[in-house]
Chain A
Amino acid sequence: MPRPTRAAAPGAALFALSLAVLAGCAQDPAPDAAPSAAPDDSHGTAYPLTLDNCGVETTVEAAPQRVVTIKSSTTEMLLALGLGDRIVGTAFLDGPVPDTLADAAADVPAVAEPMAEQAPGAEAVLGLEPDLVYAGWESNLTADGAGDRDTLAKLGVATYVSPAACKAPEHMPDPLTFDDVFAEIAEVGEVFDAGEAAGALVAEQRDALASVTPDDRGLTALWFSSGDDIPYVGAGIGAPQMIMDAVGLENVAGDVHDTWTSFSWEQAIDADPDVIVLVDATWNSAEQKIRRLESHPATARMTAVREGRYLTVPFPASEAGVRNVDAVVDLADQLDELRLEAGEAQDR
């Protein structure tokens, strides 16, 4: 496979090293086919590892040592798996890392100083000599963004898109479930030969998720993500729906077969949700959303607005990743604190 000469030396060395490690483990050295379910995490990963990622066959020659992460979901994934030292560049972060990962992030200069506010250019990415680009959105990996997947592969840079973000219908999780999220954690663990850490993280998250009993009062909710005149809300098959299901909220836009969707205020008012989940983003904060809801004479009449029944979730936690379970726990707590009674907002 053709490689630029400057990447050949470390690549070859790594290759040799991992072969030696594998040999030392007395592991079956046959190259693996495409495992994407939860692997046996007591053994190391067999390289080269080939995966079907969003319909693109991706091969990782060895445990990546120099990773460029795009978007918070992927950055936080690596930090949560203790792989922060592998990150050489980050970009397009959606907000600050959560407190639980703050210490891990402090040691990674690339997180404190991202390369770019949006998708970085291909040259800038290649300048860091990565062996893997781990993208949170499929659209990050285009010629205008960090680079076309095939082109990068030819240059010896493997690419991996968060599976929950695949856009093609046959690859998009429909609907997204926590099993999908955990499977991603496991797959990332496999890619980085960090199976143990991945298994531990999954177990931890499963426990946390199990500790939350979905609310059974049949409360409805609107997942208000962004937008002003035309609201953009969480719809039926994406991360917002997954989180709301776990918390026990019924999504008023759940009938729409999409991850997120543009909605109409009229429908929102008609549904009169019991609570409104506000996505708090740096460019569109929860406060701004509240102001908007309260200042417009039509939305101000909604029960949830009049009584201030808001749940807040930070934007990075609203995309599939390691923070979804935390979001579920947090939203469940916020819901309890509202102390609503069943069927309170059923009549207008």
Chain B
Amino acid sequence: MTTTEGRRAPASSPAGTTPNAPRGAAWWLPASAVVLVATVLGAVTIGPVDLSVGDVWRSVATHVGLGGPLGLEPLGALPDGMVWELRLPRVLTAAAVGAGLAVCGVVMQSLTRNPLADPYLLGLSSGASLGAVLVLVAGLTVLLPVAAFGGAVAALAAALALAGAIGTITPTRTVLAGLAVSQLAAAATSFVIFWSATGDSYREILSWLMGSVAGATWASVAITGVAVLVLGTLLASTGSVLDAFTFGDTAAATLGVPVARVRWLLLVGVALLTGALVSQSGSIGFVGLILPHAVRLLTGARHRLLLPLSALCGASFLVWADTLARTVFAPREVPVGIVTAAIGAPVFALLLWRGRRIA
């Protein structure tokens, strides 16, 4: 009696009945989960230094504790360090950041009913950048994550306060207030850079502003991973609620959704998650803006599918982008934010072109 049942992928929306989305949706989630796992496995074996796949797996297996049971000899300290301390944390952080940014992008676009919204809309990225740059210029690099996170949250508070001061908080007002805060923070950031960046410290700042996971450690994995698993899952489970906003606030209210409260909670959730991600990776652009559209073009607008699918696709996308960032110009490395922008724009144009011919 029910429609085609697909295997539910792990870490997807809470157990419920099969969704009735068009275009063969049932297999999208498991398929993209498989792609993500393959991507992570593949990316760890790719890098500017030639390490064999066997060596990479030897290293991982040893750390995971399978070395003894499988009788594997551990890798030498240096290659092992390359795999376990450089590549693996970096790939996992990229996956977490990509997933988190994509989910935040979906929520922001639906909440503000604005297809150009992204996780950084309410000044989150500009605020984080300002916090980060202040700390970088002062030489207190160790405080960078805290300052970035604090900056993001402060920017959100400022945007909401500004929107609220004008009148009732509507999506348009929120977007405009966020724009104002963004511009202000960006101007302040530029000023700080211009005024105090000496020698070639601007390179570090630029790298942060463009977004990079090059410095990821296991601590980054922990922070971003926990943030995505906790906040990201929470956000991703609000599918039905976000659906209710499809036709506007009034429709949502008359469907029984407490509009103002939900909006606040979702915005705070997005701000916290984005702040955590940005504190580790800088403001990687494009993922939160375009991934939701791309996934929507493939599978439609139902949020129960869109949210988890965007997370999985965002994770894979960013892992691939980072892999390119560290191999294409080897031995040089570019910040991944450049790659996401460079790849993403043509890919999105392609998807738009395809989408035009579908219904």
CB pair A267 B330 closer than 8 Å: yes
- Please encode chain A, from 292 to 313, with 1 for each CB lying within 8 Å of some chain B CB and 0 for all others: 0000111111100000000000
Q: In the complex, which residues of chain B have a beta carbon less than 8 angstroms from the beta carbon of A266?
A: 47-49, 82, 86-87, 326
CB pair A230 B335 closer than 8 Å: yes
Rounded to whole Å, the gap between the CB of B318 and the closest CB of chain A is 16
CB pair B81 A229 closer than 8 Å: no
Q: Does A261 contact B (CB under 8 A)?
A: yes
Q: Does B5 contact A (CB under 8 A)?
A: no
Q: Which of A99-107, A278-286, A324-332 contacts B (4 or more CB under 8 A)?
A: A278-286
Q: Does A196 contact B (CB under 8 A)?
A: no
Q: Which of A27-35, A45-53, A74-82, A220-228 contacts B (4 or more CB under 8 A)?
A: A220-228
CB pair B199 A226 closer than 8 Å: yes
Q: Does A117 contact B (CB under 8 A)?
A: yes
CB pair B331 A253 closer than 8 Å: yes
Rounded to whole Å, the gap between the CB of B64 and the closest CB of chain A is 16
Q: Which of B210-218, B256-264, B348-356 contacts A (4 or more CB under 8 A)?
A: B210-218
- Of B80, B141, B198, B335, the contact of A228 (CB 8 Å cutoff): B141
Q: In the complex, which residues of chain B have a beta carbon less than 8 angstroms from the beta carbon of A225?
A: 200
In the complex, the chain A residue whose C-beta lies closest to that of B198 is: A283
Beyond A267-B331, A269-B86, A348-B76, whether A229 also contacts B214 by CB under 8 A is: yes
CB pair A270 B82 closer than 8 Å: yes
Beyond A256-B332, A261-B332, whether A232 also contacts B82 by CB under 8 A is: no
Q: How many A-B residue pairs have CB under 8 A?
A: 104
Beyond A230-B335, A265-B86, A267-B49, whether A94 also contacts B141 by CB under 8 A is: no
Q: In the complex, which residues of chain B have a beta carbon less than 8 angstroms from the beta carbon of A301?
A: 77-78, 80-81, 85
Q: In the complex, which residues of chain B have a beta carbon less than 8 angstroms from the beta carbon of A270?
A: 49, 78-79, 82
Beyond A256-B331, A282-B198, A284-B201, whether A296 also contacts B79 by CB under 8 A is: no
Q: Does A134 contact B (CB under 8 A)?
A: no
CB pair A228 B215 closer than 8 Å: yes
Q: Does A15 contact B (CB under 8 A)?
A: no
Rounded to whole Å, the gap between the CB of B205 and the closest CB of chain A is 11
CB pair A263 B201 closer than 8 Å: no
- Of B81, B204, B326, B331, the contact of A227 (CB 8 Å cutoff): B204
Beyond A264-B48, A272-B78, whether A297 also contacts B207 by CB under 8 A is: no
Q: For chain A, which range describes its interface: under 10, 10 to 19, 20 to 34, or 35 or more residues?
A: 35 or more
Q: Does A139 contact B (CB under 8 A)?
A: no
In the complex, the chain A residue whose C-beta lies closest to that of B199 is: A283
The docked-state distance in angstroms from the alpha carbon of A302 to that of B79 is 10
- Please encode chain B, from 169 to 206, with 1 for each CB lying within 8 Å of some chain A CB and 0 for all others: 00000000000000000000000000000111101100
Q: Does B333 contact A (CB under 8 A)?
A: yes
Specify which of A284, A288, A300 lies most central, judged by the most chain B CB atoms within 10 Å of its CB: A284
Q: Does A65 contact B (CB under 8 A)?
A: no
CB pair A263 B333 closer than 8 Å: yes
Q: In the complex, which residues of chain A have a beta carbon less than 8 angstroms from the beta carbon of B217?
A: 296-297
Pairs A–B under 8 Å by Cβ, sample size 19: A227-B203, A230-B335, A263-B331, A264-B214, A264-B331, A266-B48, A266-B49, A267-B49, A267-B331, A269-B81, A283-B201, A284-B199, A297-B85, A297-B217, A298-B82, A298-B84, A301-B78, A301-B80, A348-B79
| 3 closest cross-chain pairs (CB), A and B | A229-B215, A298-B85, A229-B214
With A283-B139, A288-B139, A297-B217 already in contact, 20 other A-B pairs whose C-beta atoms are closer than 8 Å: A118-B198, A227-B204, A227-B207, A228-B215, A229-B204, A229-B214, A262-B203, A262-B333, A263-B332, A266-B326, A269-B49, A269-B81, A269-B86, A270-B78, A283-B199, A299-B81, A300-B81, A301-B85, A302-B78, A348-B76
